[in-house]
Structure 1
Amino acid sequence: MFGKVAADILGLSDVGSVIKPDNYDKVDADDYVMHEDNEKIYFLIKSKSDEYCFTNNALIHLDGTSATSKKRMLHRYSYVNNKISEVKLETAGTVDLDVEIKFKIGSQPFSIDVHKKHLEEVKDLYKALIKISEISRENETSLQYAKQSLEVASSTLGRVTSSDNNLVVQFKMLNQAAFQWLEDSKKQYSIKDFGYIFEKYINN
């Protein structure tokens, strides 16, 4: 019953609508946002059957047959473990009623139809996803460089001769240094929270 009322209030059809922040509490996806961990909704698209909720940490996709159905499949794709790529925006033609934003998150492709009256908002989402994709790609390259740098340093140190008495101590120190290097590099180049990107590009 609530699903039908919410659908009527939000004016939903099979083509998605961009939901305003004032109405986030009327959608099911809000129940699965980790507000306790300061997760926040930045963009939300809803149709009769699906909800696409973009937070600072993840894409939450509620997949259902209709807004009135009690059976929903919840998918959560964290940005840190599922890189965004292949972001595209297809604008509407003269007779088209919808625009389409396409992207991959991890290995999962998405193609979301949105009513063309929301084109300006979808452009903002497109910019944010493009930027997140670029940052993730650059950070992945930087992390690989950090790992290669560590391998070169380890190989060089491995050729240094030492007395048997110092081998255990040096191995322990090298192992601790290598672990810390990788830990620091991962923290630097594996971004979990992209709220600052959404705040820069989303203007709803």
Structure 2
Amino acid sequence: MFGKVASDLLGLSDVGAVIKPENYDKVDADDYVMHEDNEKIFFLIKSKTDEYCFTNQALIHLDGTSATSKKRTLHRYSYSNHSISSVLLETAGTVDLDVELNFKIGALAFKIDIHKKHIEEVKDLYKALIKISEITYENNLTLQFAKQSLELASTTVGKINKLEGNLVEQFGALNQTAFSWLVNTQRQYRVKDFGFVFEKYINQ
């Protein structure tokens, strides 16, 4: 009992290690990366029970039930569908042997303990997650403004434009224009591949 309490206090209960790129193919998470779609691992943390694999497209989390069980639950959170937010890094205290990385992806909160010897690598990941969070937040605002702008334009045209001729054809043309505009705006401001961010901040 005392041993467990002591290990918890010192951050030894399930402290993660940062895996080097040359060893990515030796961890389980690599099997679930969509290499066929140009998905690439940029950062990987492995503890006794879990693996946290940050790719250019998603966070892949292999959730282990215990250190002695081989049973794992696979979770995949794409950055385009699950925004990253609330990124925090807690550095180690005098007696601590771990640093703590906290963030939300969608509505789910993560708290990852990593051995403090990896602090420099974790700082790089922290910067990358902060940047992704900022880009996603700004893009979401822009998408909201774009949709509001389209609604305003549609309402204004409806008030001032007197349709003549074939109403069905004109409605179809207007609808197609609005649809194409929304699709193109969505493609522009909904980023699916954040490889450019990881390449800038991750130094391994």
Q: Hey, what does 2:194 align to over in structure 1?
A: 194
* Aligned equivalent of 2:45: 45
Unpaired stretches in structure 1, ≥5 consecutive residues: 1-11
If the length of structure 2 is used for normalisation, what is the TM-score? 0.91
Query: Structure 1 residues 123 and 56, CA, compared in 2 at 3 Å: closer, same or farther?
Result: same
* Deviation (angstroms), 1:68: 5.3
Q: Which moved more, 1:114-123 or 1:155-164?
A: 155-164
Q: Who is 1:88 aligned against?
A: 88
Paired position in structure 2 for 1:23 = 23
Opposite residue 39 of structure 2, the aligned amino acid is E
Deviation at 1:107, TM superposition (A): 0.5
Aligned identity (percent) is 74
Which of structure 1's runs of 4+ aligned residues deviate more than 4 A?
A: none
CA distance in 2 between counterparts of 1:168 and 1:149 reads 24
Of residues 66-75 and 136-145 in structure 1, the stretch that sits farther from structure 2 once superposed is 66-75
AA aligned to 2:168 is V
Aligned to 1:55: 55
Aligned residue type for 1:30 = D
Counterpart contact for 1:88–1:101, Cα < 8 Å: yes
SS of residue paired to 2:166:
helix
**Cα displacement string for residues 147-170 of structure 1 (whole angstroms, at most 9, x for unaligned residues):** 011101100111134355232222
Aligned 1:55-204 pairs, distance under 5 A: 55-66=55-66, 69-163=69-163, 165-204=165-204
Identify if the C-alpha distance between structure 1 residues 68 and 27 changes in structure 2 by more than 3 Å, giving closer, same or farther.
farther
Equivalent residue letter for 1:192: K
Q: Deviations over 1:54-84 (max 9, x none)?
A: 0000000000134553310000000000000
2:3 counterpart residue number: none
Q: Which runs of 5+ in 2 are unaligned?
A: 1-11
Q: Displacement of 1:128 after TM fit?
A: 0.1
Q: What is the rounded CA distance, in whole Å, between the counterparts of 2:194 and 2:40 in structure 1?
A: 10
Structure 1 counterpart of 2:36, which letter?
E
